[in-house]
Amino acid sequence: MNAVVLLLLLALAALPASCAPPRSFRLELASVDASAADAANLTEHELLRRAIQRSRYRLAGIGMARGEAASARKAVVAETPIMPAGGEYLVKLGIGTPPYKFTAAIDTASDLIWTQCQPCTGCYHQVDPMFNPRVSSTYAALPCSSDTCDELDLVLGADADAARNATNRIAVPMRRDPRYPSYYYLNLDGLLIGDRTMSLPPTTTTTATATAPAPAPTPSPNATAVAVGDANRYGMIIDIASTITFLEASLYDELVNDLEVEIRLPRGTGSSLGLDLCFILPDGVAFDRVYVPAVALAFDGRWLRLDKARLFAEDRESGMMCLMVGRAEAGSVSILGNFQQQNMQVLYNLRRGRVTFVQSPCGALR
């Protein structure tokens, strides 16, 4: 498959200040189910069920790409997995002169922006015509070592200055995992459920030991990232293309066991949403009044708190509330999904090698 790397801010370094585009801009996103929802009149419940199912396909696809990369490691030094499927949000982009417009899935998990281009043999079918570099007057091959690549930062939710000046933020080092060389990856070294803390054994000399806050984790406004180092085996890929979060089997089992102890409601089965851990809601008790303990993830010793709205969804058809976290295979990678990233701004600082999470209700954003 042929792919072309798209650099969104490609012309910034070459243009004079008078005609340079703004260094930040907003994109209008569309749900991948938007057209289907309009055509079939899908309910919110059905849309969520479809998104959860796609998340499972996403996890399987990442695992498949890992296996293919491992089998080819002797012949290929480093290669970004290119998967045509997956993604929850779509955007219209344009490249070249005159502009060639195409639909792209927003994927924050990896470092590659790509589309199929001509000439192409063995490519998958796509609705949009393929980009033809020969008809673009501004097309040029650009090496990954170019200065333009170093200029790219990505902010989701607001402009970079707002994210940097916020007080309720945590900055986490961005790591690299040789199993997934092109994914943005965080070291997970602690898990807190209620007053129970699970400190994960470090697997590298650069991994910090997480110390549980008391009584609940609170983001530190002065937290700063340390130098990028090797990833540990408990780490997570940050991914808005997956709706739910996935935890490696041993971590998921620990989370489930502790939640059962804390919540003390009968477990339910047969969720119509396709989720694994569900609790039967008491008769006459609204979902928003059910107790859920504090849950937090520690990334290199910095705690990211997840409240009930980022952990559970109500399965109204089954009369249950279900955990929006799935179980990954033992030893596999974990994924931080977009349900757990709601009401947050996420800043990817590629130059400094860190990710910053800023607590910010979506309703407050302009």
Strand-pair category, 278-280 with 320-323: antiparallel
* Catalytic, out of 189, 239, 258, 315: 239
Which one, of 181, 197, 179, lies nearest residue 189 by Cα? 197
**Cis peptide upstream of residue 98 (ω within 30 degrees of 0):** yes
Give me the DSSP letters along 34-95: HHHHHHHT--HHHHHHHHHHHHHHHHHHHHHHHHHHHHTTTT-S------SS--SEEEEEEE
Residue with tokens 């070459």: 14
107 part of the active site:
yes
Reported as half-sphere exposure (CB side, CA atoms, 13 A), residue 244 has a value of 29
230 part of the active site:
no
Cα dihedral 297, 212, 266, 277 in deg (nearest 10): 20
* Catalytic, out of 107, 189, 300, 315: 107
CA distance 132 to 120: 10
Which one, of 105, 102, 85, 83, lies nearest residue 31 by Cα? 105
Which are the catalytic amino acids? 107, 239
